[in-house]
Structure 1
Amino acid sequence: MVQIGYTMMTEQAGPRELVDHVVGAEHAGFDFSVTSDHYFPWLESQGHASYAWSVLGAAAQATERIPLMTYVTCPTTRYHPAVVAQKAATMQLLSQGRFRLGLGSGENLNEHVVGGGWPAAHVRLEMLEEAVEIIRSLCEGGNVNHHGVHFDVENARLWDLPDSPPPIGVAVSGDRSCELAGHLADLLIATEPKQALISAFDRHGGAGKPKIGQLPICYDTDRDAAITRAHDQFRWFGSGWPVNSELPGPAGFAGATQFVRPEDVARSIPCGDDVDAVVKAVSLYVDAGFTEVALIQIGGDHQEPYLDWAQRNLLPALRALGKAEDT
């Protein structure tokens, strides 16, 4: 049965509110949660970008059951992989085994802040592959010395290790990233319901591993208000990874999406309170082979009514979808 997740969007709410939201998601019955890790929002109208790892630590203490996950952290530019390993091991301890480390090759939007330039896409994947190897070595214990093409690690050791290392997920968007994820990751991460990604991941060693997708929705009893909010904050979503990973800041995203119309957004993002529309969108992921789908409710100040609606109406309908797929 497909697992349904809740997304803590660090770009659309402050840190205290994010923790309150994931507590509400646990109470509502979501199966897991994921957290974005940004230095900037995509658009200024979103208005936030708190430090995801502090939010995760607080969430680990405020919740009891719901799994936590980065979706995703870039372990190559803004963070060194040795530091990411320490963060992940600590989170696994704080959450008592509920943490999964989602990794990706990053976006210029966030990684440019350290002034190291923005590598070409193929270099970013090389860096990610080397970073995953370093993180795994450190989380398995012992001293690590590494002198690679992109990273150096000098006599590093994690002194606080969980009994089981956190599972590692890798975000994919094409054949090369699927190949990397298939042989290095414990699970796949994607933002599009493309069966080709699942097939490539399975072909390179990912068969039987979890596959996690993500879907934005905009709940509101007023559909027009939902469309307006989705357009205001999420019109960048349909631009695609090759574009989104290169843009340097919110002004760039605003310029790139200036001609996107509200009706364009409404065609790609379920807006309003139509449960069937969300079920249909989730079913695209299920049909493609995803085992988990994390929903994003657009609008940081619209989480409480969404969580109430999800508990009463949406989650029961999605559970029925999962049962239908199992029969």
Structure 2
Amino acid sequence: MTRFGYTLMTEQSGPKDLVSYAVSAEQVGFDFEVSSDHYFPWLSSQGHAPYAWSVLGAVAHATERVELMTYVTCPTVRYHPAIVAQKAATLQILADGRFTLGLGSGENLNEHVVGKGWPTVARRQGMLKEAIQIIRELQTGEMVDWKGEYFEVDSARLWDVPDVPLPIAAAVSGDRSVEMFAPLADHLIAVQPDKDLVDSWHETRRGTGLPGDVRVIGQIPISWDPDRDAAIERAHDQFRWFAGGWAVNADLPTTAGFDGATQFVRKEDVAESIPCGPDLDAIVESVRAYWEAGFTDIALVQVGGDTQDAFLKEAAAPLLDKLRSASH
């Protein structure tokens, strides 16, 4: 059965609002909730970037059933992997085993703030591989010393280790990253409904003796609104960065950069890539490509911080019914 999630998008809402939306999303029936982990919004018009881990700690206490996940945390530049290991273990305890640590190689937008520069793609992936290994070691609760190519850990130990082991999901985009991370991570994160990528992940895991059929987690933006024109206007204002693709999105350092890079993206371009308006069936058809590609978990991003209450109150429940019916 395909599971459907709600995105706590830190770039478009403040911390108290995010906790409120998390509670409402659980009540309306979402299976899981993912949180972005940003220092900057993509565009200034989004207007927010609270600390995701504080928000998730509050969400863990405010909710009871829904699973939680970072989508995604970069454990290499802004954060040291030993620190990510500690806060992920703590959150897993607070969430009573409902948390999955989603990891990726990051974006310059968020990582540049600590002044360490922005590594090449190959170097970022090497750093992520080593970070996952360190996080795994520390989750044992044993003393860890590590001296690798990118990181050092000196006599570190987690004193509060969750009873439920911490699952790790890794974001991948191609053959090289599948080969590198499929043996290390428990679950797959991908940003496009690419069946070949999903199949390659499963085959790579089975080739190393690991279980092949694990969770495949994706995400898709939608702009629901009773007024389609308003939905398109909002999506263009706040989500036109999405048109750049991840090869571009990973490298731009500031909101001004994203504003400049997307200045020629038209409203009709956004409306073609993001379902906009009140038509729930159109949203279902946009999501369909993900479960047909083998995704087990699909998180929705409702565009616009000021639209969340209306979406959760008016559209979410009937949309979930339609999605579950169509995906069976």
TM-score (ref. length: structure 1): 0.97
CA distance, structure 2, for counterparts of residue 178 and residue 259 of structure 1: 34
Residues 90-145 of structure 1: CA deviation (Å, up to 9, x unaligned): 00000000100000000000000000010000000000000000001101220000
Letter in 1 for 2:53: W
Q: Is the Cα contact below 8 Å between 1:182 and 1:203 reproduced in 2?
A: no
Q: Which runs of 4+ in 1 moved over 6 A?
A: none
Aligned: 1:97 with 2:97: yes
Partner in structure 2 of residue 142 of structure 1: 142
Partner in structure 2 of residue 310 of structure 1: 315
Shift, 1:230, TM fit: 0.3
Aligned: 1:235 with 2:237: no
Shift, 1:203, TM fit: 2.3
Letter in 2 for 1:31: D
Partner in structure 2 of residue 154 of structure 1: 154
Match of 1:219 among 219, 224, 227: 224
Partner in structure 2 of residue 40 of structure 1: 40
CA distance, structure 2, for counterparts of residue 103 and residue 311 of structure 1: 27
CA distance, structure 2, for counterparts of residue 199 and residue 255 of structure 1: 37
Partner in structure 2 of residue 295 of structure 1: 300
Equivalent runs, 1:82-121 vs 2, <5 Å:
82-121=82-121
CA distance, structure 1, for counterparts of residue 304 and residue 131 of structure 2: 33
CA distance, structure 1, for counterparts of residue 315 and residue 233 of structure 2: 21
CA distance, structure 2, for counterparts of residue 225 and residue 97 of structure 1: 40
Q: Give structure 2 stretches of 5+ with no counterpart.
A: 207-211
CA distance, structure 2, for counterparts of residue 98 and residue 285 of structure 1: 23
Residues 2-38 of structure 1: CA deviation (Å, up to 9, x unaligned): 1000000000000000000010000000000000000
Residues 33-77 of structure 1: CA deviation (Å, up to 9, x unaligned): 000000000000000000000000000011111111000000000
CA distance, structure 2, for counterparts of residue 166 and residue 69 of structure 1: 11
- SS of the residue aligned with 2:101? strand
Partner in structure 1 of residue 133 of structure 2: 133
Partner in structure 1 of residue 278 of structure 2: 273
Q: How many percent of aligned residue pairs carry the same amino acid?
A: 62
The size of the alignment, in residue pairs, is 323
Aligned: 1:253 with 2:258: yes
- SS of the residue aligned with 2:112? helix
Q: Is the Cα contact below 8 Å between 2:7 and 2:302 reproduced in 1?
A: yes
Partner in structure 1 of residue 67 of structure 2: 67
Q: Is the Cα contact below 8 Å between 1:181 and 1:187 reproduced in 2?
A: no
- SS of the residue aligned with 1:136? helix
CA distance, structure 2, for counterparts of residue 297 and residue 180 of structure 1: 32
CA, structure 1 residues 165+312, in 2 after alignment: closer, same or farther (shift >3 Å)? Answer: closer
Q: Is the Cα contact below 8 Å between 2:93 and 2:162 reproduced in 1?
A: yes
CA distance, structure 1, for counterparts of residue 315 and residue 181 of structure 2: 32
Shift, 1:200, TM fit: 2.1
Q: Give structure 1 stretches of 5+ with no counterpart.
A: none
**Higher deviation after alignment, 197-206 or 97-106:** 197-206
Partner in structure 2 of residue 189 of structure 1: 189
Residues 302-327 of structure 1: CA deviation (Å, up to 9, x unaligned): 0011112334420110110122xxxx
Q: Is the Cα contact below 8 Å between 2:29 and 2:317 reproduced in 1?
A: no
CA distance, structure 2, for counterparts of residue 8 and residue 237 of structure 1: 17
Letter in 2 for 1:115: G
Shift, 1:194, TM fit: 1.2
TM-score (ref. length: structure 2): 0.97
Shift, 1:195, TM fit: 1.2
Shift, 1:204, TM fit: 1.5
CA distance, structure 2, for counterparts of residue 36 and residue 265 of structure 1: 21
Q: Is the Cα contact below 8 Å between 1:169 and 1:181 reproduced in 2?
A: no
CA RMSD of aligned residues (A): 0.9
- SS of the residue aligned with 1:294? strand
CA distance, structure 2, for counterparts of residue 39 and residue 176 of structure 1: 28
Aligned: 1:15 with 2:15: yes
Letter in 2 for 1:72: V
CA distance, structure 1, for counterparts of residue 46 and residue 175 of structure 2: 32
Q: Is the Cα contact below 8 Å between 1:173 and 1:241 reproduced in 2?
A: no
